[in-house]
Amino acid sequence: MQQQQHHRDATMGKETETLCRLVANHLHLAQFEPLRGVLLALRTRNRDLTRHILQSIVARSAQFPNIAWSSSCSSPALLTCLSTLELLQLDDASSVWNFDSESLRLRAEFLVLVQHLIDFVSEKEENDDDEVKLCTRVLDRVLELGFKRLRVDEDDEVENEIEISVSLIEEIELTSLRKLVLHCADVFEALSENIEKQIRRCDLEDNGLEVDVKGGDDDLKEDVDVKVLFGIQKMAQVVHLNAIRESLEGGDVEGAISHIHFLHFDYGLYQSEYRYVPF
């Protein structure tokens, strides 16, 4: 009996090793569907190892060296989001982070939304427009902020070098995205809603977003992140308010009405600021 058990264990170990090699190969080639199939097979043999692999992909923001990105999986943001969805099928999905599974999902979704905007802008870069280039640089930093909010090192702490590389995005820099808000209004609406949910969950998990100057470094970092997220919401609201004013001044009532459903009183502006619209 012991020999049979030993044989079964050895066979299981070889199968697991083979599956892990396949995971590495499919990950290198950015072949997510085959990767998903291998992970499902691995999950029946070792759920903990499967969880660890997926957590590693997400925590590193799918940024591994020499990945050959494909048309079916074209960016770290997409691979991170797809891996997160698979990870959420397992128990203790967010066990290496200090937030819950829903926050994990929201942070991964944030990446895909920002990446969609980057892809849209990249199609315009052929014009060699300085404004477009600035827009791309700001979006790249917003995306890196999103990656940073998912990354952990081996000690389950945010990596210091990443903290240094992601500087605070000033509110005036976000104004470079104003035209993009009008071109991609639905995406910014989804992004603002995602931000609202992220902040609300931070509020629930941390008992408020107010940061004491004597608080810990983690609180201060979270406050900086939240300031940028609030800035994105506020910028989008200002764009739609200005579009309504311009439409009304030009006699385009239907144009003004088309922006109303993008307005939200709790997205970074005081309610009094909405009263300036001359209805």
123 shares its domain with 248: yes
Output the tens digit of pLDDT for each of the chain's 279 residues.
Answer: 555 455 445 555 789 999 999 999 999 999 999 999 999 999 999 999 999 999 999 999 999 988 999 888 999 999 999 999 999 999 999 999 999 999 999 999 999 999 999 999 998 766 668 888 899 999 999 999 999 999 986 544 444 444 444 567 888 899 999 999 999 999 999 999 999 999 988 766 655 444 333 344 555 556 788 999 999 999 999 999 999 999 999 999 999 999 999 999 888 887 777 775 554
Find tokens 């264990």 and name the residue: 9
Q: Which of 46, 66, 95 is the last residue of a domain?
A: 95
Assess whether 86 and 161 both reside in one domain: no
Between the CA atoms of 21, 16, 49 and 44, what dihedral angle is there, to the nearest 10 degrees?
Answer: 120
**Residue after which a domain boundary falls, among 40, 64, 95:** 95
Domain count, the chain: 2
Question: Which contacts (CB < 8 Å, 24+ apart) does range 222-229 have?
Answer: 224/168, 225/145, 225/148, 225/149, 226/199, 226/202, 227/168, 228/142, 228/145, 228/168, 228/169, 229/195, 229/198, 229/199
pTM, rounded to two decimals: 0.85
Residues 69 and 105 reside in one and the same domain: no
Whether 27 and 118 share a structural domain: no
Domain residues for the domain of 109 are 97-279
Same-domain pairing of 106 and 91: no
The sign one gets for the Cα dihedral 17, 53, 37, 27 is negative
Domain end position, chosen among 72, 95, 118: 95
| Whether residues 128 and 240 fall in one domain | yes
Q: Are residues 77 and 179 in the same domain?
A: no
Whether residue 103 is found in the same domain as residue 147: yes
